[in-house]
Amino acid sequence: MRQEAIYSTRLNDEYVKIEHDSGLTMLLCPMKGFSTSFALFSTEYGSIDVSFKTDKEDDFVTVPAGIAHYLEHKLFESEDKDAFERYAKTGASANAYTSFDKTAYLFGCSENFKESLEILLDFVTSPYFTEQTVQKEQGIIGQEIRMYDDDPQWRVMVNLLEAVYKNNPVKTDIAGTVESIAQINADLLYRCYNTFYNLNNMVLTIAGNFEVADVLEVADKILKKSDDVKVIRMPIDEPEDVCKKYVEANLPVSMPLFNIGIKHKPSDKTQNAKVQLIDEMILDVIAGEVSPLYRRLYDSGLINSSFAAESFVGRDYVMSLFAGESKNPDEVYRQIMAEIERAKSEGIDKERFNIAKKSLYGKYLSAFSTPEGVASMMQAAHMYNFEMYSMLDEIASVSLDDAQNRLNTAFDTEKSVLSVVKSK
């Protein structure tokens, strides 16, 4: 077992990185003065991982869409009782989520930390699938899929991704489709589990009121050594252009919803995470609440307080996203594209850039104030191959020239899509 302290001179703070004998990486940050703890047990496995193999296998396997999310649901069950029943005895609040590129199991608690951690490590490393229980889940997840199909906020986003991407699996709903999940069986679940839930592909991040010695005691008790299996993902052949510029769906809404996406070319995952920080500054300058564009759109009634812009980034995809409600989404789209072109030709305003940079720094700095924020930051940084504290260093190092360069080279308005959901 290897252990090292990761220290930040900027924050005068530290956390502990432990490479456990089982193969699991543990990032542990005890926080004095807090009464609660928050833990995340995560694997770098999400909905986009549909074609893969290990370094021990010759051929790639392609699995049905939605299987990562399906597996997340099934892991809570065991032969005796499900994990939520066990957590009810410790008083911990537990949950899980599947995103496009990761799956995480989590709990928060103010007491019985060791017992809750033991439950977490135990059920995630003890899969129990039978054909009968797998088939039972198909109806439950099928209902969930149909429910999201009728959700305007989700539909406008999924439609955008389908219009932006041709081959990237990010275009497919995280839960899959009713047809794809019907193909899932116990053997496929075990195949995916044994590939991606190898402890060498996972990370445990904990922050708050706990003792490192207690974590090691529980880990030594529960975790068994894993063979160091490397996951190889099928490369994604994605063209740089978008599939179509406009997509529309009809659902009952009081005002049309819109998503606007600008497709960027992804790099390796560490570089993707770095450009996300720059893109967030650019988006704040272009369309943040203090920007001239935002004031024009808001004052003219073209947007309301629901409007927001964000950088949508993962392991194999990068996109800038604008979202909100508008009586005239086409005009909002036109004005956003015009503002991007104006900033490219006239240059980013230095004062607005500095405000956006300080705002982003403050946003990330505030995440260090809660156990949940710290555990989530450690997880995200680890998944992108850098240390948590370096996020602040990266933000501080971004210059106006860096932002202008990124805007000029990556924000191609020809690679933009407008997705709208409105009533018939």
The residues that are catalytic are 72
- What ranges in 262-399 are assigned the alpha helix state H? 269-287, 292-299, 329-346, 350-366, 371-383, 390-397
- The whole-angstrom separation of Cα 356 and Cα 88 is 44
Q: What is the DSSP letter of 281?
A: H
Check the CA dihedral 350-351-356-362 and report its sign: positive
Residue 394 phi, psi (nearest 5):
-65, -45
The distance from CA 151 to its chain's CA centroid, rounded to whole angstroms, is 20
Task: Report in angstroms the alpha-carbon separations of 228 from 56, 198, 232.
Answer: 10, 8, 13
Check the CA dihedral 365-366-367-371 and report its sign: positive
Residue 353 exposure: Cα atoms within 13 Å on the Cβ side: 18
Residue that has been written with the tokens 């992108």 in this structure: 384
Q: What is the DSSP letter of 229?
A: P
Check the CA dihedral 32-33-37-40 and report its sign: negative
Phi-psi region of 137 (alpha: psi -120 to 50; beta: other; left: phi over 0): alpha
β-bridge mates for residue 417, sequence order: 261
Closest CA to 364 of 378, 345, 347, 385: 378
Task: Report in angstroms the alpha-carbon separations of 5 from 30, 40, 119, 167.
Answer: 12, 19, 27, 42
Question: What is the C-alpha radius of gyration for the chain, rounded to an integer number of angstroms?
Answer: 22
Which secondary-structure segment (H or E) carries 250? strand 246-250
- The whole-angstrom separation of Cα 367 and Cα 374 is 6
